[in-house]
Amino acid sequence: MANALFYILSVGAILAAAGVIASRNPVMSVLSLLGSFFCIAVIYLLAGFQFLAAIQILVYAGAIMVLFLFVVMLLNLGDPEGEAAREPMFHHGRRAFLAMGTSVAILVAGLVAVLNTSFPAIDPAVAETGNDPVGQLAIAMFGRYSLPFEAASVLLLATTVGIMVLAKRQRTPRTQGERA
Amino acid sequence: MTVPTEHLLILAGILFTIGVAGFFLRRNLIVVLMSIELMLNAANVTFIAGSRQHSTAGDLNLDGPIFAIFVIAVAAVEAAVGLALVIALFRRRQLVMLDQVNELSG
């Protein structure tokens, strides 16, 4: 039952991810990405990572996607009659397709490698209940991983300052060369 | 669920390649940022698969979920900075298409 649900959700996540890059309207892209994140969150839940599933929904679906949607709406990019709707969606240079072909080749190589590796069977107790006890996670986060935790907080602080600098309106009058 | 690790890794690989495709082929800067989020999610699925594989009932491996949480934090930071840059660019030049941003190309 859970296994069947995993395969259904995998197909859903892949289709939604394809919808992100295939849809012309950025609002539809954001909503497809949201669907993909929800499918992945339920996969985490099935695999037994309940806390991670909650974080995925709260941070990704709650915060990051709202940020994307806000920017799309702010810049009025979802307008199907707008000028952007008539422009081509994709790069059509040879280099773009070269990069794409290379990455698909790497994917195929990775799939061959994965399918040729024999993984030992997962511990049945872990397979059923998962391994995401929040208490142990907190002990590890504030004990063994306290240095990366502090580094993440410094990163967040630096980001906040950086975004305030970026978002601040320029008060100095623009020069002529800047206008052109 | 008793899905083997291989299938989780295959899912992650396919999601990552879709993200790479969006990154290289789309012209809209916002969709490119969304493709990066897709790639980071694929990396998280891989961490989960590894953590699940290496756990036993007596000795749980918590590296996977912890790294996934850090990846989510970095993804949030990256999205915030990227979207601030998009807004700054739009305010200055009124465009979001990547190949029109060519001031620095020689």
| Residue B21 in contact with partner chain A when CB distance is under 8 A | yes
Provide the CB-side half-sphere exposure for B44 (13 A, CA). 28
Q: What's the length of chain B?
A: 106
Residue A180 has a pLDDT of 46
A80: closest CA of chain B, how far (Å): 14
B14 and A84 within 8 Å at the Cβ level: the answer is: no
B105: closest CA of chain A, how far (Å): 16
d(CA B42, CA B39): 5
pTM, two decimals, is 0.87
pLDDT tens sequence across B16-67: 999 999 998 888 889 999 999 999 999 999 999 998 888 877 777 888 899 9
Let me know: does B30 contact A92? Beta carbons within 8 Å: no
Q: Which residues of chain A make contact with B84, given a CB cutoff of 8 A?
A: 162-163, 166-167
Q: How many angstroms separate the Cα of B101 from the Cα of each of A73, A179, B56, B87, B95?
A: 21, 15, 51, 14, 8
* DSSP 8-state symbol, A89: S
Residue A133 has a pLDDT of 77
Q: Give per-10-residue mean pLDDT for chain A (180 aa).
A: 91 95 89 94 90 91 90 78 68 82 90 87 70 79 92 94 83 56
Residue A173 has a pLDDT of 61
Q: Tell me which long-range contacts B101-106 makes (C-beta under 8 A, separation of at least 24).
A: B101/B29
Q: How many angstroms separate the Cα of B61 from the Cα of each of A140, B78, B102?
A: 10, 28, 47
B83 and A71 within 8 Å at the Cβ level: the answer is: yes
Rounded to the nearest integer, the mean pLDDT of chain B is 88
B55 and A88 within 8 Å at the Cβ level: the answer is: no
| Residue B52 in contact with partner chain A when CB distance is under 8 A | yes
Element containing residue A178 per DSSP (H, E): helix A176-179
Domains observed in chain B = 5-98 (1.10.287.3510)
d(CA A72, CA A88): 18
Which phi and psi (to 5°) does residue B26 adopt? -80, 150
pLDDT of residue B12 exceeding 90, the answer is: yes
Q: Which residues of chain A make contact with B22, given a CB cutoff of 8 A?
A: 20-21
| Residue B68 in contact with partner chain A when CB distance is under 8 A | yes
Residue A91 has a pLDDT of 77
Q: Which residues of chain B make contact with A5, given a CB cutoff of 8 A?
A: 1
- What is the 3-state secondary structure of A32-57? HHHHHHHHHHHHHHHCCCHHHHHHHH
Let me know: does A70 contact A30? Beta carbons within 8 Å: no
Is the reported ipTM for this assembly greater than 0.95?
A: no
Q: How far apart are the first and last CA of chain A?
A: 63
